[in-house]
A and B are shown apart, each in its own frame.
Chain A
């Protein structure tokens, strides 16, 4: 019995953390004069209530899988990449430009190229924080935050200066049909991107479990000096893990452009990069854990909008729950104390 409990210890803690976050959320909803039952029932209904709502939930889950994975990959080497938002913006921008300018290529060549270019743009953006951390020790949280601002400004500068579609809205022209990811269900905006996301999960899982390089990166994350002693170049591993992390964050932007928006628009993200932090923390930095956490937060994102529209309850409740989940998961001792009672 105890053995079984031990095996699922982590899952039990995470589940308790989520419940606790919803509980605190309920108190807040109640104190603000709303009905808790109505809030949570519209939330649930909005996320899972119909086939359409479900497809919306999955549409929101996909970018969170990427941004969550990105944070998780950084964590593996001991780095906290909260620059997912900026990396995603540049990924989205680069993918859109690639797709527009190489539009003459057939889809089966264009789609992979546009994806990879988006990933590289993300990598390029995460390289500097990784490099500075390795070389100088500059805290990656501060540098990635600054890179977010710089990245979003860079993308909008390039857009306005060179690539803006005529008209009042700051956006590119539509990408060609051949670069768009096919829809799984018509008019749902749920596309093949979900398969790309799951494919990346599998690759990352194998990378950390089965490859030498993945193992080296994790060793650096667990104990940098031990890793150095074992002959691992920890600086190189840190930069590398940041670049892989940025690549995956870039893909979040690429798949949004190719699957949902079909163009680059400024301010397209409702904070996927930041929600990715909660996703990674809740998923315990494990690729498959990230998948489940991304579904949860994707559902919250979707349901939150319904809740705001139909129950007039501010959707910022979702942000509160994200923050609480991060805090509670980060403090297993708190959960242990609560469970013992």
Chain B
């Protein structure tokens, strides 16, 4: 069916998407690159000029940058570890013959549909608040001092909130994958005397590999850009304790109004994302083939 005219038609149909995505990618990137070498502050618009690599060296010499880099990777890594491990365990549990599986799925998937600011605000106010939160009530019930989650453990708290949002996604995908596992294979292994642990290790886990890879890939794309949860709860603080790279750049641009410096941060974020993306694309590419 691929005559010359259908090929031409196909190109014309793809063209608008390619065009807008190309513009969306290249124009801002070129502008960011340009700004990153310029002095450009919104508060002193009369001053301008080339500054070379000053903004880049500022980032590389700033302890806050390395902390933000660490926080970004800790957030992505922490959430991935928590959601994959708990997700597999919960999926295994729900996949057992239980009553009301449909309703269970509905309860478990719910947090995924809660928008980030609402999720963050629920946890910040109704649970982690030192005076009125449910956690502090529980702590006091045991006669203990309430834990100051967002003040003393800001990054861990953010990791917890984000994990709660993404756990349903991981669980649902693992559950879907588990349900395509043939029960004969498991029964045969059980008859041959394989322990539950061995059945998990040699039959279930290999079957889940693809699903786990996919969960890691998709979540990483979204987790690298986590913003709303931090904006709503800690604002990156106290100090820079929960500032990630995206949030640090946001502060430079919107709060300090230093466009040049924020642009350099943006370029660094692009480089970081490219390093991560390189590994991700190889993974997705492999899955596309089969």
Whether A and B are associated in the same complex: the answer reads no
